[in-house]
Structure 1
Amino acid sequence: MGLDDESEFSYVEDSENGPSNWGKIKPEWKICNSGTMQSPIDLLNERVEVVSHLGRLHRDYKPSNATVINRGHDMMLRWEGGAGSIHINGTKYQLKQAHWHSPSEHTLNGKRFDMEVHLVHESKDNKTAVLGIMYKIGRPDSFLSMIKQDLEDLVDTPNVERAVGIIDPKLIKFGSRKYYRYIGSLTVPPCTQNIIWTILRKVRTVTREQVKLIREAVHDASETNARPIQPLNQRSVELYRPRDQEDN
């Protein structure tokens, strides 16, 4: 779901393998430049339709054996067994992995936050659904506190996958029933489209040290690993809000 060779693309904006040139690096990546449904996007309030028909986000996660790997452009936590699933439009998407971007890739009304985690899910017929949670600087995120040592151990060992025992994905807190929903793409090459994106409305908190750990572990030339905002084009963005009587 991303690349193993870290030198193939970068986040350095004006470099020849930077984000605006990703589509030119390999023929199979051309959609990164030509695609009309690319991610991330700005979740601008006036473009968003508030709906209740999408229904509550049902996640049915369970603890499972996991590994952590420094992929050279990000840190990834991968669940080996069945770590459970989310259900979208009657389809079950199994949780596969989580990885972090800093600053956030998605923005709210043009505002970028300090970090974003992506929980990547796949259905039996290989469709992908990604759940994103954004973070601003504040109190520590308990999930990152829990795996701090595992991340620190990988700082100097890119591309080595290390078993970290059983990790419960339910410990990645949501904190809100409200979420944005739109159809987009992977945010790294090959930038595959028709990905169902769900971004939680609540911006959670993380400490500066936690963001620094996620970033410093990845020895690339860039200070960041967030792709620039892509044009919305003709897409709709929905914001699910429970009807008042069932609100938090």
Structure 2
Amino acid sequence: MWDLGEAYESYVGRWSRPVAVEFLRFLDVPPGRTWLDVGCGTGALTETVLAHAEPASVTGVDPSSGFLELARQRVPGASFEVGDATDLGAREADVVISGLVLSFVPDASRAAAEFARVGKCVGSYVWDYTNGMQMMRLFWDAAIDVDPAAASHDEGPKFARVCLPGPLRSLWTDAGLRDVEVAGLVVPTVFRDFDDYWTPFLGRTGAAPAYLATLPDEQRDAVRDLLRSRLPAHGPIELTARAWAVRGSR
């Protein structure tokens, strides 16, 4: 479900850019540093580093060749390589970052240890899937009302092990990082209308779209209709997205 870069951009990638800007303000890294973006996806955070952080260089690493193909097209000033967050090999950088990725890494503790081994300054951020990422929270609440089995796919409880301040802080301190700080980053997510909100859920890329693709047409339509009834009928749909960010130093 992570191979379709354009579908991911439409679903949640477009909201990755504004939160990436807030994350870099939180990190407050001086110019001229080398950066490694682990789990770079389609390059939203990598592109933001180039635009705002004045890096000496920036390299993006991701296991998805589909995402990397799109990243290379969109961010020509960076290097991109296939790689795994839990095994970064001989790579090293002044700053190691990871945006909206740790929730999907099977062994987040091992990934944090790798970040700390490779980088001097280490930062990451994850969406608050419990109730801070409103577009997804609304979807899962409606999906569970239509299909109670959807609860087993709900990203809120599933990712609570890493998408809240306490677990994030523990990951960094357990990895041996010092001066650890955690902060909330909130950005607006404004949809033109209901179709702009709903259509990306049909793209099959991401946990919620992948789950939705498994439903028969009748249930999928029922989720859509229930969401439509709970959102504004006219004009823009104004929601917010919250991420939790963490930083530390080696």
Indicate the structure whose relative CO is greater, using CA pairs within 8 Å and at least 6 residues apart: 1
Q: Same fold (TM over 0.5)?
A: no
TM-score between the two structures when normalised by the length of structure 1: 0.25
Q: Flag the structure with higher helix content.
A: 2
TM-score between the two structures when normalised by the length of structure 2: 0.25
